Chains A and B, each alone.
Chain A
Amino acid sequence: MVLRVERLTVRYGGLAAVSDVDIEIADGEVLALLGPSGCGKSTLLRAIAGLERPASGVVRWDGADLAGVPVHRRGFGLVFQDGQLFPHRDVVGNVAFGLRMAGTPAPRRADRVTELLDALGLGGYQRRRVTELSGGEQQRVALARALAPRPRLLLLDEPLSSLDRALRDQLAVDLADVLRASGTTALVVTHDHDEAFTLAGRVAVMRAGQISQVGPPAAVWRAPADEATARFLGCVAIVPATVRAGVVHCGYGEAPLPWAPDGEIRLGLRPTSLRHNESGPLAGEVTHRLHRSDHVRLRVTLDSGAPVDAVTTVTADAAPGTRIHLTLDPTTLAILPT
């Protein structure tokens, strides 16, 4: 383990923004800290960076306590949601900043800057003013700036949240590539699970100042530790269910879940968990229809009288008033302990 946070608590006045948190990040690993806004994840990141003084607990790097090491000597890179580029410096001036602080000779500085700008698709941007760049370009420069001095740990605070969707997806993929290629150890703080799952090898879910679950993205996605985590990860209904021989049985029918252990569980359903399928076991009447970019969301009143969410394809005939059949989609289900 390289970074180790032990029983860390950060207080604002009487309020514990982070309470008693333990996390570990291995060399070369990317960990995402995922949680709703106000859960304390940014405070935790700031405490690791050395920008907040913890009330108790220890941040260690390779076993050494960092309490006495100020921000500028930690060698941790920092990327903010909105770039925070130095407005009085051009692209090169920003990217080379850390190298200049480290006293790197000018020729090696220039090489490193060119190398990073090329890697991030910013070749030729050297002398551009940062205030004239688009949001996505600014964020790429911010990333290059943080990576330039080869930080021991890269801390990213909602690095993609201020970008619009198309840019975000593109930069998420590029960012994941750059992190993997350079073998950078990184901590990404985000409220967006797509972002967390794209970038990170492991996800720590945080709520109300505490870590509620840590694990690989797929495990967290399909087996949230508790109901609140499940709801944060998109589950809208939680129902009792039984797993027998890799098949889950519940009030909405059955679906194959080969990875689920046998026994009584609670099943988390997402808005996409019930699919329009004319051979499905559930029947009901469509009450509302909402067109999304690549699918259609439905509100269906089942014959039992219970209202449920469901999805169908864009081309399907499912106007309000239509009677349709639904079936469970196993890929979107989550299981919770009883």
Chain B
Amino acid sequence: MRVFMALVRRELAGAFNALTGWVVMAATALLTGISIVDMVTKLSDRPTDSPVTELFYQSAYFWVILLVVSPVITMRTFAAEKSSGTYEALMTTPVGDWQVVLAKYTGSMLFFGLVWLPLLGVLLILRQVTGEAGLLDPGATAGAFLGVMLIGSVYMAMGCFASSLTRSQIIAAMVSFLLGIGLWIVSLRPVSTHMGDGRWARLLDELSLLRHMDDFARGILDSRHIVLHVTVTFLFLFLTQRVVESRRWK
């Protein structure tokens, strides 16, 4: 546990010492700000009953942030250490492969969580200004944030996997961006409707991140969604561990 904590701290410190952390934070804060302004302008034209969180997650902003930011957060995890050689120094200490993988994933998750803090701040301000208590429904907000973290978990695990494959951060970012955008595309409604009504269409529909996010943002916690996200996360972490271990049988 001590070792694990030390590794997680290193991950986070690395992100902020390397400037990318700050750039990512600033960029998401900016995008969140723009999206809220955009949303408020639209709302003043055409009022609606939906919670603000739902409106936000239905907007393109959320997905842009998720798809672009995730690869940037995770590209460092393994690739940077491999290219600088510190990976060798790390792997010749008595730490287990799983410890390393989980620490890198946890560090990415914590950072991913930090990235969304400005959104919470913006929502609080919005509520203060409008004085409407219903604006920030605790259930919907908690559900939305849980949803963000679950989807983020899948994307972080995917990113760690991509980073473990290569020693180049750019390739890592590109691979995880492709994986991420692929997962997003299959969850678009046109794709599943195109497949007709068969079993595959239903499968895709169940896998649809967009639909899950809709539910989460309304404050609906479907255990099937949670199980799916957790399972996919573990699948990618497992693959990552295999890649890390592969230096021992390659």
* A and B pair up: no
Residues of chain B having any CB pair with chain A under 8 Å: none
Residues of A in contact with B (beta carbons under 8 Å apart):
none
